[in-house]
Amino acid sequence: MACINPDGTLTPAAQAVITALKAACTVTDLAQATSLPIYRIRSTLRELGEEGLVSEIDEKYLLTEVGKNKLSY
């Protein structure tokens, strides 16, 4: 389940997660905000983290500068 398409754009699930991350959120917060299942949120966050778009601090996720730039596309 890749969250970034071959052309560099975000998948709809990744876009929903990044859009919901305007403030630090837990996995549960993101699931509620996006209506995506928790397993999908976790896998998307893992992939976004590997790409440097999100980071985790104290079980809350937030956008990195790279993620904020990706959101403005």
What whole-number percentage of the chain has pLDDT above 90?
Answer: 56
Total Cβ atoms within 10 A of residue 54: 24
Residue type (1 letter), 47: E
For residue 18, count CB atoms less than 10 angstroms from its CB and return exposed for 0-12, middle for 13-18, buried for 19 or more: buried
Euclidean distance between CA atoms 5 and 31, whole angstroms = 22
User: What domains does the chain contain, in order, with CATH numbers?
Assistant: 12-71 (1.10.10.10)
Token pair of 33, please?
């905000």
pLDDT tens for residues 50-64?
A: 999 999 999 999 999
For the cut 60, the answer to whether the pLDDT of residue 16 exceeds it is yes
